[in-house]
Amino acid sequence: MEWITGRFPPLAAPDEGRDFQGPDQARFGRPGTAPDLKSSYPQARVLGLVECGTHAVTGAVVSGSSASGHDLYPGLFHRLEEDMLAMADRGFFSYTVWKDGAGIGAALLWRVRANAVLPLLEEVENGSYLSAVYPTPKARRNNTDPIRVRDRPFPLNAWPKPSPPSARKS
C-alpha cells in the first residue's frame, strides 16, 4: 500500500446561506410575498466560509434578507489564503467574482451552470480542457480580457446507482 504524505491544502466552501429571524432592526428588512404581506420578524442572510472536513466556520458575512449569496461572497475573500482550495457552487460564478477570487492566490474549484460557454482552447490528456471565461459575449468574440481556466466536464449521472439493500435474514 502506498501512503500519501505531505501537507494538504485547506478546503473551504461557502455555506449556501441561511436566513435567521432577528431582533426588530430595520437594516435587515422583512421579506414577504407582496408589498403588503411582510413577515412578522426581520430576517438576516448569513453566508459563511466553511472548512471542509471539520465544518468549522472560518468567516461569515451578514446582510439583509434581500441580499443573495452571490452578492455576499466577495465579503469573504479576505478570509481566503494562498494555499487554500476554495470551492463554490454554480450560483456563485461570475467573471468579476472569479477574477477577484483568483487575484488572492487561492486555487478555485467552482461548478458553473450547464449552459456556460467555455470554448475549447486546448485538450488535456486526463479528459479536461483549457478554456477561458470572459466578462461579456462581445469580449469572448473579440478575445479580450480572458481568464484562463481548466474545465472538467462531469455529468451528475457518472456515479453508478447503488444496489438495493439485500433482504435481512431473521
Q: What is the pLDDT of residue 2?
A: 33
- What is the Cα gyration radius of the chain? 21
Q: Are strands 11-14 and 122-123 parallel, antiparallel or unpaired?
A: unpaired
Q: How many CB atoms lie within 10 A of CB 93?
A: 19
Q: Which three cell numbers stand for residue 27?
A: 437594516
Amino acid at residue number 91: G
Q: What is d(CA 22, CA 41) in angstroms, rounded to the nearest whole number?
A: 7
What's the burial of 48, exposed, middle or buried (CB within 10 Å: 0-12/13-18/19+)?
buried
Amino acid at residue number 69: G
Q: Which CATH number fits domain 8-23+42-112: 3.30.420.10, 3.50.30.60, 3.10.580.10, 2.60.40.10?
A: 3.30.420.10
Q: What is d(CA 22, CA 160) in angstroms, rounded to the nearest whole number?
A: 44
What sign does the CA torsion over 13, 59, 55, 7 have? positive
Q: What is the pLDDT of residue 144?
A: 93
Q: Which three cell numbers stand for residue 101?
A: 477570487
pLDDT by residue for the chain (170 residues), tens only, comes to 233 333 334 445 555 555 555 555 555 665 665 666 666 666 777 888 888 878 788 888 888 777 777 788 888 888 888 888 888 887 788 898 888 888 888 888 888 888 888 899 999 888 889 999 999 999 999 999 999 999 887 766 666 666 666 555 54
Q: What is the pLDDT of residue 113?
A: 84
List, for residues 24-69, the tens digit of each pLDDT value.
555 566 566 566 666 666 677 788 888 887 878 888 888 877 777 7
Question: 60 with 50: CB under 8 angstroms?
Answer: no
Q: Which three cell numbers stand for residue 75?
A: 465579503
Domain boundaries, the chain: 8-23+42-112, 117-153
The model's pTM is 0.66
